[in-house]
Amino acid sequence: MFRRKVHGDDSWNDEELCALTELAEGEKGVIVKAIGGFGLVRRLAEMGLTPGTEVKLVKKGSFGGPVEVEVRGVALALGRGVASKVLVKPVKDETHD
């Protein structure tokens, strides 16, 4: 799979990062950082999307609609714009789903 490499500041630009929206359905990733406005980043953190947390992309809505993710045992819907601001490191999944 091809991913857009995200380049930015220091510590994490050597790792393979992608936007949450770029995960495939059923794929997992670990949140590295959320980019975007102060209010958005804060809201995401409060809903449990903090750096270092594992998320699973459950479903992508059609027509560029929102994505459904599972984080901390809860299902959340994130608008495409919101989700594209969450950068994750994909987890090489060895288990079945």
Residue from 1, 2, 9, 97 that binds other proteins (CB under 8 A)? 9
Q: Which CB, 6 or 53, lies closer to other proteins?
A: 53
CB neighbours (10 Å) of residue 66? Answer: 17
Q: Which of 33, 22, 92 is nearest to 60 (CA)?
A: 22
Decide: 15 and 89 in contact? Cβ < 8 Å.
yes
- For the CB of residue 85, give the shortest distance to other proteins in the complex, in Å: 9
Helix (H, G, I), strand (E, B) or coil at 34: strand
63 binds other proteins (CB under 8 A): yes
Binding status of residue 95 toward other proteins by CB under 8 A: no
Residue ranges in contact with other proteins by CB under 8 A: 9-11, 33-34, 37-48, 50-53, 59, 61-66, 68, 72-82
